[in-house]
Amino acid sequence: MNILLVEKDENNLKLMLQTIAENYAMAQIEHCSTNENLKTLLCSGVAFDLALCEVELVDGLIFEVFQEIHPSFPVVFMSAYDKYWSQAMIFNALDYLRKPIGREEILRVFDKYDALKNHFLKRFSADNVSKNNKSVFQKDRLIAKKGTNYYVIPTQNIAFIYTESRIVFLIDQSGERYTVERSLSDLEVELPSRDFFRVNRKFIVHINAILSFKPSFKGKIALELMHLAKAEVSISQENATQFKKWIEE
């Protein structure tokens, strides 16, 4: 995942970097603080997946660059004022945050991004993958590591995959833990969508690993998974509707 941060305030930049590091450990980040540097980045050929952009930069409004180079990626705009909201909507606005922003607001827009990405990936998969053909969306095994050895793990034997301290772990149906040298974003696309669901930024779960689920705070859903004792995994409000559709398929 390639993320573009356009921010002139050091405190806001630090907050965004920390939040991204905790939740998207494999993300590649580019940062700039001026329109001049933004234009250089956009012309460099880097394909961004998402941008979080301050509207008011030291050398003018960010719209000056976006009018010349229209973003092809979703953008979260940030400003201390409401007055730029309507202008922002023209340029692939995913959200508009009023400053000062907090960690929860950043997490909320990432939840929204994940929910939309999951929706379109499923639509693309349904439209382009026939039942008789294997594809990138239907891997039937993964390579995982334990100690110095590598193992072939059939996807039907996976309970869930999660990230912790920037490492991706795989727990199989028997409770054995392995590491996987892939990002959750890549795995989300490649694993069979009928069996696996990306419940949040940190977990992809197999349907057979779900022991129970229940409504939680603010429209979220709490999952109880095998091999996690009584710990609960939370599904965001944005992903809850998709989860309910998936679980009934």
The 3-state DSSP class for residue 29 equals strand
pLDDT confidence bin for 137, thresholds 50/70/90: low
Q: Quick one: average pLDDT of 231-243?
A: 82
pLDDT digits (tens, 9 = 90+) for 144-156: 999 989 999 999 9
Of the candidates 161, 124, 156, the one whose C-alpha atom is nearest the C-alpha of residue 141 is 156
CB of 144 closer than 8 Å to CB of 150: yes
Nearest Cα neighbor of 79 from 107, 57, 109, 58 is: 57
Average of per-residue pLDDT values in the chain: 88
Token pair in block for residue 15: 């907050």
**pLDDT score for 237:** 77
Rounded (to 5) percent helix, strand, coil in the chain: 35, 30, 35
For residue 141, what pLDDT is reported? Answer: 92
Q: How far apart are alpha carbons 50 and 3 in whole angstroms?
A: 5
**DSSP-assigned states of every residue in 125-165:** HHHH--TTS--TT---EEEEEETTEEEEEEGGGEEEEEEET
Domains and CATH numbers, the chain: 2-101 (3.40.50.2300), 131-247 (2.40.50.1020)
For residues 123-160, one letter each, b for 16 or more C-beta atoms within 10 angstroms of the residue's C-beta and e for the rest, the string is eebeeebeeeeeeebbbeebebeeeeeeeebebebbbb
